[in-house]
Structure 1
Amino acid sequence: MRRRIIRILIAIVIIYTVALSIQAGLTALHAKSYVASLSGEYDRTTLDNQSNQVASDVNRLFTLLSVPVVKQIASVAGVDFSPIRDEVVATIKASSWLVGADAPKRYMIAFQNSAEARGTGGILGAFAIIDLNKSALTVVRTGSNAVLYSLKDVPVKVPAEFTKLYGKNPAILQNSNLSPHFPYGAEIWMGLWKKQFGEQLDGVIAVDPSSLSYVLKATGPITLASGEIITSENVVAETLQKAYKRYEKDNNARKQYLVDIMNAAASKITSGQFSKVEMAKAIKRGLIENRILLYSRDQEAQKELSTVRLGGFLSKDPNNEYRAVIQNIDASKLDYYLKRSVVVETKSCKNIQQTQVRVKLTNTLKSGVGLPAYVLTRADKGKPADLVTGQHRFKLFIYGPTNAKLVSVLRENREDGLGGGSTERGRPIYVADVDLAPGESEELLANFAGGVGNISFVDQPLVIPTELSVKGGC
């Protein structure tokens, strides 16, 4: 009996291995043809058909690789890419346009500074303009936000609810990405660029120092002209904390320092000086943490991106998704020290689902004494008379699911100044103004009615990842 079972298991393994080999072979053949087409002269329909064929092959390959024993082995080896399956397939489907197979494409790479929080992560600190032409990448120019200017009005068409929620602030370069809906920020950045340089960009790719730290694991350390070595381990602290002290008297030099780091990393990437496996791992982690975002001006490509994390959409589809978004309003760089703990808990499944979101915010800074004035900036109006050095003011936006309702709110130890409600893209929002001295914490609570499907939470990519707990479900 035991031998029979063993023979059956061996047969299953052989069948699976053969099937996997055949599938891999088909994928390789389609992929080889597809890669060749990206460098050739083909019409858009042909390119899209080939993209869809490769995407279909890859999707089937992911299905085969989801067999538990294989998945377990892949996880142990650190090469389980199933968590970004949807992103991989969607990107392949859109790739012929994205990589410039039909015509050269020009993108802005937006380097977000997560020490000053915005809806999609952080303020735009530095940028690069790159060309993609038949999958060949060229860096055209790089710079800091010092060379970009702002407008009085938002340069693209936005919904009335957007203006009601954010006013004209997004017309200011540093506030373009106040909304967590990435296409809004990307379109505004592109609009500002066109107004200033008369050039229509084809898309925006957003990254941050944390995602760069993952990439540096693949490329290895980079050496600046000064001889300074930037590594995966030190790049976040060097760019978002230590640089402010080092260049305390020269903020433009600090911004150039960011550009120098970006240039050095880009040089390694464009010259192929990296481990492909480690780079894939870096991209995987960046995607999962919402630190890599992509917007395309092409409607068909954007349609694919809208369904996955890479697109950074605040979806209007039915869902049971929650968010806790920080908006820095004092112009400080104190979000580097901000800790967030979130508990999403089902309270009732009768009739309409009831869900509670508790957000605890902590200013982990022990003391602001000795920090550069630029880091401690309080440019907000109505500052308290007894302002403590290192005190940080920001807004918290707690988002509920599409078509849900904000039922009630509560703030720790407060009966007034609770904040208010608003909406964005069909989502109810609890908005509150928070001001925390070093070491202080506050907990805010929002109750929502509605939601479809399993509870999910989309984390805003700041320096300190959110501590998340999800309880219950219907």
Structure 2
Amino acid sequence: MRRRIIHRPTTRKALLAAAVLPSAAGAWIVVTGGLAVAELRAAQHDLGALRESLAASASPGSGSGPGVAAGSSAESDQERLLRSAAAHAARAHDLTTGPAWYTAAQLPFLGRPFETGRGIALASDRLARDVMPPLVRAVPRLSAGAQAKGVADALVGLEGEAPAFERAARVAAEVREDVARLPRSSWLPASDRGRAQFSDQLDRLATGTRDAAVAARVMPSMLGAHGPRRYFLAFQNTAEARGTGGLPGAFAVLRADRGRLSFERFGNNTELDGLRTEVNLGAEFADRYGSNEPGSAWANSNMSPHFPYAAHIWAGYWRARTGQHVDGAIAVDPGTLGLLLRVTGPARLPDGTELTADNATDLTERTSYATYSDTAERKAFFVEAARAAAERLMGAIEDPKLLPALLGALRDVQREGRVQVWSADADEERLLMSGAFGGAVPDSPGPFAGLVVNNAAGTKLDYYLDRSLVWAPGACTDGGRSVTATVTLTNRAPASGLPEYVTQRVDAPPYRTLPGDNRLLVDYYAGQGATLEGATLDGRRIELIPGVERGHPVYTLDLELPRQSSRTLVLHLREPDADRPPTILRQALVTPLRTTVKHASPCRD
């Protein structure tokens, strides 16, 4: 007897649901995913408009007289854009939550784009809700404070913004860590590109937020809000490279008292030559730099790229010279002055020469050597140039209308690493070292690439130096990943026409050289735990001198660099953790370092 198969209604419904639900979930994800992308684009559009509005309100002349009403209107418009961006980001986050998105994101390999989409939407929501508001709202408050009480009081008033900035910085750091854990590669190229672009933007935002938090915490006290401060200010000549930038030449002593800045004196390096200071910076520093006698040879006081080392030594020199203690040290260069003079307008020297944004570097690091053959006259010119620029900047700081633009110029200076600040106060210095202005070589693990050159010839030819660095990850290994670092150095010095002081070789090499030939100590800094497997110079195998600084392996080459020539150094390394782009150590010279960081699929995902 045949048995009849009876399809119960509940069984049919279950089978139908099993067939329909995946399709419905897929359709839901497609529709909501498209809507979420549209919301994220709208949020990006609002944030772009917000940046333009903030830049317009930060332009010189945007804040007095009739500008008060306009400023209020601009502030209202900025709040509207901020709320709109936050609303779009929140909707994108809502659209990518729920059972369908959660389940899809858990699928092995196939779920990677959905995991990335969910992560970016959540990150955007947190940024718009918790990170951007305190940063955006601080700009009009700072400008209004400058208008009402003056620039000095407004800067000192930054202390009140510190807690909000610190909360924003913590959230930004958390979001960056969350995004770093999202899949780097998937079957959907658009998702991978979106993640990479968002990650790059987030890196800049997290760094900027951290630096704003550091500035709000340390700037008021460093500006003398709680008592007068005195700083040693060095003007670095980047025509002769040193680890922190350039040879320390002219200097000043800067006084800060309740936000008011003044200069107590100006001088040049001849006042510090022949002095000796005993500064103990540890055995590691002594091993790397002791033979160069940084405590008794002023010209070698800043060979390390770690600025706190140089600052300690400079403070020791000043104490040996005058018996006075300083509360910190600051380093700037002609590039710094140029960026700031773009806001303030030109400075006029006693002889009528104008120091402008466009000629600050050229005038001090090239033209002056041809103009002044007498060394004493040339050094006096450097001091006068430093004095004129500094006094012009001091006048600008007292002008409330210029404050926002000056802060914008300082951001440009910070990006190029042209200002470095050290505080003798341990708590302030700890915060400074975590930000861009501290000039610290980080001692944390992770992929790292640093190219540092020190002029070993005594020439002023680094005005003509070009540098490039290509960092390329290779195959994964049991010990991490292979990395190839390619360094190219080019000496553009002309074959004739340069003053003898620029081309003279005080190193007295035992081989024949021509005017314009240069010599450099080239240091490559790798990530902690990295090992060197081999190196070539212009295609020929060479041995590099190994060392260690702040936990980083350092490989050194003594390099002759003839005029009108390029030389290429290639290092083959094994990095223990190279799944993400490296931190780049940027030494600020006349011509910025050109860097190329190549990407590769992760060793583990």
RMSD between superposed Cα atoms in Å: 3.3
1:82 CA drift (Å)? 7.4
Tell me, in whole angstroms, the C-alpha distance in 2 between the residues paired with 1:447 and 1:289: 28
Range with greater deviation from structure 2 (135-144 or 49-58) = 49-58
Counterpart for residue 342 of structure 1: 469
| Cα separation, partners in 2 of 1:450 and 1:39, compared to 1, 3 Å | same
Question: Deviation string for 1:304-351 (max 9, x for gaps)?
Answer: 111122111111111211111101111110111111121111012333
| Cα separation, partners in 2 of 1:350 and 1:264, compared to 1, 3 Å | same
Question: Deviation string for 1:151-190 (max 9, x for gaps)?
Answer: 45x5211121211211242121111100001100010000
Aligned residue identity for 2:517: Q
Q: In the alignment, which of 568, 581, 593 is matched to residue 454 of structure 1?
A: 581
Equivalenced residue count is: 442
Counterpart for residue 492 of structure 2: 364
Counterpart for residue 353 of structure 1: 481
Aligned residue identity for 1:246: T
Tell me, in whole angstroms, the C-alpha distance in 2 between the residues paired with 1:441 and 1:33: 52
Tell me, in whole angstroms, the C-alpha distance in 2 between the residues paired with 1:405 and 1:48: 44
Tell me, in whole angstroms, the C-alpha distance in 2 between the residues paired with 1:337 and 1:456: 26
Q: Contact 2:143/2:404 (CA < 8 Å) preserved in 1?
A: no
Aligned residue identity for 2:538: E
| Cα separation, partners in 2 of 1:472 and 1:33, compared to 1, 3 Å | same
| Cα separation, partners in 2 of 1:39 and 1:253, compared to 1, 3 Å | closer
Q: Contact 1:130/1:140 (CA < 8 Å) preserved in 2?
A: yes
Q: Contact 2:441/2:585 (CA < 8 Å) preserved in 1?
A: no
Counterpart for residue 164 of structure 1: 287
Counterpart for residue 409 of structure 1: 535
Query: Given the alignment of the two structures, is residue 203 of structure 1 paired with residue 328 of structure 2, yes or no?
Result: yes
Range with greater deviation from structure 2 (443-452 or 184-193) = 443-452
- Asked which structure has the greater RCO (Cα within 8 Å, sep 6+), the reply is 1
| Cα separation, partners in 2 of 1:51 and 1:155, compared to 1, 3 Å | farther
1:49 CA drift (Å)? 7.7
Q: Which runs of 5+ in 1 are unaligned?
A: 41-46, 67-79
Q: Contact 2:234/2:331 (CA < 8 Å) preserved in 1?
A: yes
| Cα separation, partners in 2 of 1:413 and 1:97, compared to 1, 3 Å | same
| Cα separation, partners in 2 of 1:288 and 1:339, compared to 1, 3 Å | same
Instruction: Please give the TM-score of this superposition, normalised by the length of structure 1.
Output: 0.84
Aligned residue identity for 1:237: D
Q: In the alignment, which of 459, 465, 471 is matched to residue 332 of structure 1?
A: 459
Aligned residue for 1:353, secondary structure, equals strand
Counterpart for residue 345 of structure 2: 220
Query: Given the alignment of the two structures, is residue 131 of structure 1 paired with residue 255 of structure 2, yes or no?
Result: yes
Tell me, in whole angstroms, the C-alpha distance in 2 between the residues paired with 1:222 and 1:31: 25
Tell me, in whole angstroms, the C-alpha distance in 2 between the residues paired with 1:366 and 1:467: 22
Counterpart for residue 302 of structure 1: 429
Identity %: 30
Counterpart for residue 389 of structure 1: 515
1:379 CA drift (Å)? 1.3
Counterpart for residue 360 of structure 2: 235
Q: Contact 1:342/1:359 (CA < 8 Å) preserved in 2?
A: yes
Normalized per residue, which structure has more strand? 1
Tell me, in whole angstroms, the C-alpha distance in 2 between the residues paired with 1:29 and 1:60: 22
Aligned residue identity for 1:354: S
Tell me, in whole angstroms, the C-alpha distance in 2 between the residues paired with 1:270 and 1:435: 42
Question: Deviation string for 1:365-411 (max 9, x for gaps)?
Answer: 131x3321211121114331x21121101110011012322232211
Counterpart for residue 237 of structure 2: 113
Q: Contact 2:227/2:258 (CA < 8 Å) preserved in 1?
A: yes
1:445 CA drift (Å)? 1.3
Aligned residue for 2:503, secondary structure, equals coil
Which structure's CA Rg is the greater one? Answer: 2
Tell me, in whole angstroms, the C-alpha distance in 1 between the residues paired with 2:566 and 2:460: 18
Counterpart for residue 570 of structure 2: 445
Tell me, in whole angstroms, the C-alpha distance in 1 between the residues paired with 2:335 and 2:443: 29
Q: Contact 2:169/2:206 (CA < 8 Å) preserved in 1?
A: no
Aligned residue identity for 1:410: T
| Cα separation, partners in 2 of 1:314 and 1:15, compared to 1, 3 Å | closer
Instruction: Please give the TM-score of this superposition, normalised by the length of structure 2.
Output: 0.67
Tell me, in whole angstroms, the C-alpha distance in 1 between the residues paired with 2:494 and 2:234: 31
| Cα separation, partners in 2 of 1:403 and 1:151, compared to 1, 3 Å | farther
Normalized per residue, which structure has more helix? 2
Aligned counterparts, 1:24-423, within 5 A: 50=160, 52-56=162-166, 84-151=208-275, 155-168=278-291, 169-171=293-295, 172-248=297-373, 250-272=374-396, 275-351=402-478, 352-367=480-495, 369-384=496-511, 386-415=512-541, 418-423=543-548
Tell me, in whole angstroms, the C-alpha distance in 2 between the residues paired with 1:313 and 1:167: 20
Tell me, in whole angstroms, the C-alpha distance in 1 between the residues paired with 2:409 and 2:342: 8
Aligned residue identity for 1:264: A
